[in-house]
Chain A
Amino acid sequence: MENSIILNPEKITADLYPKKFGKAGKIWTVILIAVCAIGLFAYIRQLNKGLVVTNMRDYVSWGIYISNFVFFVAISLVGSLITAIFRLANVEWSTPLTRIAEIIAVSAIVFASIIIIVDMGRPERFMNLFIYGRLQSPIIWDVVVISTYFFISLLLLYLPLMPDLKILNQDPSKNSRFLNHLYRIGGSFWKGTKEQLKINNKAVTTLCIIIIPVAFCIHTVTSWLFATTYRPGWDSTNFGAYFVSGAFLVGAGGVITAMYVFRKAYHLDKYITDLHFEKMGRIVVMLALLYLYFNVNEYLVPAFKMKKPEEEHLKELFTGSFAPMFWFAILVGMIIPIFILIFKRGRRPLPMFIAGVMIMVGAWFKRYLIVTPTLLHPFLPMHDVPESYKHYFPSWEEWAIAAGSLAGALLIMTFFVRIYPIIPIHETINEKNEMAEKK
């Protein structure tokens, strides 16, 4: 029904034009800045005093920071799903979602990179990774792949934005001086000529092709950071596919959450319709089932064998101290969303939003469970370490920095929405015209 509403280009432009923050938007932004500031303060403390302010010790040397890193890398994968796979598969209904997916990808990958530096005890040595990097090391593969993916995502955000910049440049009186300056730098040269469009379309298609293998690489390589290490829970040949499927799920969960929030905040009901939720809901169910399948593989097969070194790790997850978090992540991150979204009534905006939030929360804890319990149960326990080393709960600095990074990613998205149209104006107008012509 919503698609049949006739929208003229002026109306579309007016609806999708970036808008100033309302009261709620301002409060939201201030909260995010405050959380970021607390995170920054905690990081300065960590810089001054060293990683000793964290609760990471000899056993758990990858704690909440690396969990957060894996979460960010996972969520960033949605850019390749919505923008590239859907575009190449000619999925037309995905147009309003492409930019949402791309900005989620860019902001997530920015903070994935930042959080890795935060995890370094000596961040001033960061450049040594590039200077003295060892190509045999999965860490270096990750460095290469993340920087490549970041660059591709940035291009994939910018190139389809060019036609919209022309629209934003058309009436400078609508914008502040700063925004006019920004729009002029970014797109004053875009005239929308046939040649420009042709080059742009070709470039976007090339990026869509190239981003898919790079996206698969980024998360596969991240999984190999774990799988190439001989430890209970990580010693798996299944990890690449397991991580990629989980990444698609959390990314799709992030998109449906963002779809609901943007639709509500900017009254975009005519553009992000119930049909979009319905279709995304079906995709999310499929992805959740796929991820559940990989989880069954990951946990049930080792549990069936129950090899001695794996036993302690698995029992801790199933019935031990990590059991509440483990079952929470499985139920909230996969099973309940599947039950919500499998029914048509569940694929309406609000239940979808709830399912999206559940998927993301579940996914964050799932990453924590991938990282921490394994480190607490090495094949060879360490001798003569203080009892406190054998347990891990993040310090307030770690929580503050992790929360600050999540707020930072949201802040990038918030500012992006304030500056640029979150739904492509030019593409939407074109699509509506094509639909009108078909009729």
Chain B
Amino acid sequence: MIRVRNVHKAFGTVRAVRGVTFEITTGQCVGLLGPNGAGKTTTIRLVTGFLPPTSGDIAIDGHDTVEDSMAARSLIGYLPESTPLYPEMRVWDYLDHRARLFGVGRAKRKTSIGSAAEQCRVADVLRRRVGQLSKGYKQRVGLAAALVHDPRVLVLDEPTSGLDPTQIRETRSLIRTLSRNRTVLVSSHILPEVEKTCDRVIIIAGGRVRADDSPQRLIEASGADVASVACTAQVFAPANAQREQALGVLRGALPIGAEVVVQPAEGDWTTCVIRGCATDPREAALAALVRAGIRVREVSRATPTLEQVFVNLIEQEA
């Protein structure tokens, strides 16, 4: 379990983290999101014990990262951003070195390395030098190194950066598997990936926690405010008069307060965007258009994404 309580971190006059508080229990996979300079990496470095907080406290399974730093660190498997490795070492030697640093005994080391290599699909390159591996393999070696001592807490900073789509899917599935009996904190810029991987999302901006909930609940909660939550209707309107007609029909059919905007035509088809409806306007819009004899190709509802929630929060911050 990770417990972060009212943590502040200042570098001289720059306050990178201001009063961050959250708790992650075992079995949870939490995504840490934030724009560059939001305090995301600093938060991760505070959690891993690389930096001490200026005030507040952080505990890993009850071990304070400052007072009981060694015990706290021994529980964490950490994959730093950009996956720093020793290029001259063979993969086996590197994993063996990491296992030694975490005090894994001689008898258990071989099994631990084998298990981590299997999980991260690097068993076929154990005898190769790290520097000769592709970016994807290096990333997986870094992940295997974070897992080699079977940590209770995993902290992964951009774990899928540089991977191809297949590898991203595999890594995502691995992280989900690992989070079943561990506490996992993942930092990522790839929002759809966080949406698919994590049970919970913490959005940080300006060193403060701006949102902390499940992706679904964050989207639902923000739905009413998100301006782009809308319906679109694509109608056949090759001429200006037909576009005006469709616009008039939609405005007449929808309740007061609804806003209808016509987007530039794509050939003979024009997309009308409907916003500001309290209820789903699709049925009413479709019925009105059909009654008016206007050909309709598609009526759809644009559901908000985590990305939109994120952008809105960041814009509010700015």
The answer to whether A and B come from one shared complex is no
